[in-house]
Amino acid sequence: MIPSPLRLRLDSDALTANWRTLAAMSGSAACGAAVKADGYGLGARDVVRRLAGAGCRDFFVATWREALALAEEDVAVSVLHGVRDADLPAALAARNVRPVLSSVQQIRRWREAGGGACDVMVDTGMNRLGIRPEDVAAGLLDGLGIETLMSHLASADEDVPLNALQCERFAALRGRTGARRMSLANSAGIGLGADYAFDLTRPGIALYGGVPSPAFEGRIAQVVTPQAQILQRRLVPAGQGVGYNLTWTATADTEIAILNLGYADGYLRCFSGRGLARSADGVALPVVGRVSMDLTAIDVGAAPDLAEGDWVTIAYDLPATSAVSGLSQYELITGLGARFDRIWD
């Protein structure tokens, strides 16, 4: 295969170190991993292999297609979006994969199909997926073989009273369902403290370098680093503009480089005039002008030796880049496109 002029450097040690940090913060609870959206864009299989090697046993995806892509990994997978009619044949045949049933209809469907072990999502205040606690009290789950009873926090990244309220509503279900384990916390939820860990935590973003709340500052390592190759270097004479609509004008003669990177790769237009690349020796190279579909210009005046064919590193520390771009840390990593070669170090 022809090497791509774009690559994502993926740091295996940082990924496993982040999981170990989250596992330690989870106390006596087991620590799983959310690997939906193809492992937040890193590649689910590669993430699962590394985390399984570190001791992770519970993985979460969104859909059955995502679950089946992990069929050869021999790990327990929970499908967060439950089970539709169209999923049933695959769901009944799959080994080590459970639906997370989240509606009355899904529970009926699973029972009628004679499905085996399952997980169940209860809504404790987010009004997204999940059955009502009242339905649990009324016996909806009676006789169901539940491995993990779950709920999901709406605002775990904020210090709001809803967190404790959701935690209380969830804790009130303890012993009411025959579930073997209970699970509430995503990454940010782990940072809320031991009460939120229950038996199993489900971090995603923090595994991949996200810092969801101040509780994680200084504890999470960057995992994903985009790099792009220089297609050409050129001089822009003073007074001339660069890129679509010439939104940037050189105030003095300026050396720029054109990178093989654009919004079709997930490097969105909000980085126009705001993004930053670095040379191998760390010189800052600001994005100038508008990001286009496949191309981005950077000012390389401070790096006289950078030439066509050289690689530069795109600044992509998730919390800092989120602040610069206005994109969420989740959007920043899940949006990185298929044109990147994903290279694990």
* Binding-site entries for substrate: 128, 293
Binding track over 55-94 against ligand PLP, x by CB under 6 A: -------------------------x--------------
Residue among 270, 280, 273 at smallest CA distance from 314: 280
Binding track over 5-44 against ligand PLP, x by CB under 6 A: -----------------------------x-x--------
Q: Which residue in the set 7, 9, 98, 202 belongs to the binding site for ligand PLP (CB under 6 A)?
A: 202
DSSP 335: T
Binding track over 146-165 against ligand PLP, x by CB under 6 A: ------x-------------
Looking at the DSSP bridge assignments, the partners of residue 285 are 277
Q: Which residue in the set 26, 163, 186, 334 belongs to the binding site for ligand PLP (CB under 6 A)?
A: 186
Residue 267, Ramachandran bin (φ over 0: left; ψ between -120 and 50: alpha; else beta)? beta
How many residues belong to the site for ligand PLP (CB under 6 A)? 11
Active site residue 244: yes
Question: What secondary structure does DSSP assign to 211-249, as a single string?
Answer: --SGGGTTT----EEEEEEEEEEEEE-TT-EESGGG-EE
Question: CB under 6 A: which stretch of 182-190, 191-199, 297-305, 332-340 binds ligand PLP?
Answer: 182-190
| Residue 197 CA: distances (Å) to CA of 181, 202, 288, 336 | 11, 9, 45, 31
Q: Cα–Cα distance between 8 and 227 in angstroms, integer?
A: 6
Residues 6+ apart with CB under 8 A from 282: none
Active site residue 36: yes
Answer yes or no whether residue 187 interacts with ligand PLP by CB under 6 A.
yes
Residue among 28, 65, 62, 54 at smallest CA distance from 201: 28
CB of 334 to ligand PLP, least distance (A): 10
Residues that bind ligand PLP (CB under 6 A): 34, 36, 80, 152, 186-188, 202-205
Instruction: List residues with catalytic annotation.
Output: 36, 244
